[in-house]
Structure 1
Amino acid sequence: MRPTLTHLALHVPDLDACIAFYQRYCGMQVIHQRPGKGTRIVWMSEPGKEHQFIFVIMPGGQDRHLASDDYSHFGFALASREEVDHVAAMAAQDGCLIWPPRDEPYPVGYYCGLRDPAGNYLEFSFGQPLGPGSEQMPIP
């Protein structure tokens, strides 16, 4: 048996705020929605990856209150340091930046962190052995 990771499902306190956040910061799109849990269940994906990995978001969750030293997060790769800086600047303006851009030795790279409307943390990185351009990088 060899399972494949296909989705992550989240209960969130404000479904529409989370949809807007993942559209704005992650470029994800709603690819499916249906009635459920008293309102609706939404599937979101990066364009072109609808058959590989999705977020399923559902209403009814509670706001997560992660500690400042809790590094639990969803990781998104970007194509350049400038893109990391751009996301960080947008997040600072929107009040959801939690880790300003920082540079750490390989394989961590250059990254920043955001908090979504449900309290989940997201990392946006460049230079990790995952994501754009990583095919040439060895994984330590």
Structure 2
Amino acid sequence: MRPTLTHLALHVPDVEACVVFYEQFCAMRVIHRRAGKGSTIVWMAEPDKEHSFIFVIMPGGQERHLAADDYSHFGFALASRDGVDSMAQQARRAGCLVWEPREEPYPVGYYCGVRDPAGHYIEFSYGQPLGPGAEPMLTT
């Protein structure tokens, strides 16, 4: 039997702020909400992916402060370069843009970075060999 990645569980300082962020920026939606640890535990997923991969958002976390050279992030693919530019503009207005749109050699592609309310970084990309706009991966 091989393992399958099904979820990421995140302790965050403000569950509701993170729910709003992931709804607005990542088009995720709440698929389950229950009481837990003095607050609410929320499961979120992209539409039609509720049975394959979710985020579990839990209370009690500390805000993350990443070093300038720490590129830890969650990656979301967009369907176009314009989508990346639009996401960056939305994040700029919200005060949470951390990486201006930029182009990197294949397989990285065109991307920008956004900070969620808990301090996690989210990359929005186009042109990677994953998700919308994917190109076949070249092996070397």
Judge same fold: TM > 0.5, yes or no.
Answer: yes
Please classify the TM superposition score into its range, dividing by the shorter chain length: over 0.9
Structure 2 partner of 1:2:
2
1:9-68 deviations in Å (ceiling 9; x for gaps):
000001110000000000000000111010110000000000000000001100000012
Say whether residues 1:59 and 2:79 are aligned partners.
Answer: no
Structure 2 partner of 1:77:
77
Secondary structure, counterpart of 2:93 in structure 1 = helix
With structure 1 as the length reference, what TM-score do the two structures score? 0.97
Aligned residues: 139
Secondary structure, counterpart of 1:87 in structure 2 = helix
Unaligned runs of 5+ in 1: none
Q: How does 1:101-116 map to 2 (within 5 A)?
A: 101-116=101-116
* Alpha-carbon distance in structure 2 between the residues aligned to 1:2 and 1:27: 30
2:60 partner amino acid: G
2:37 partner amino acid: K
C-alpha contact (below 8 Å) 2:126/2:133 kept by paired residues: no
Deviation >6 Å, runs of 4+: none
Q: How does 1:25-36 map to 2 (within 5 A)?
A: 25-36=25-36
CA RMSD of aligned residues (A): 0.9
* Alpha-carbon distance in structure 1 between the residues aligned to 2:54 and 2:18: 14
Q: What's the offset of the Cα at 1:69?
A: 1.3
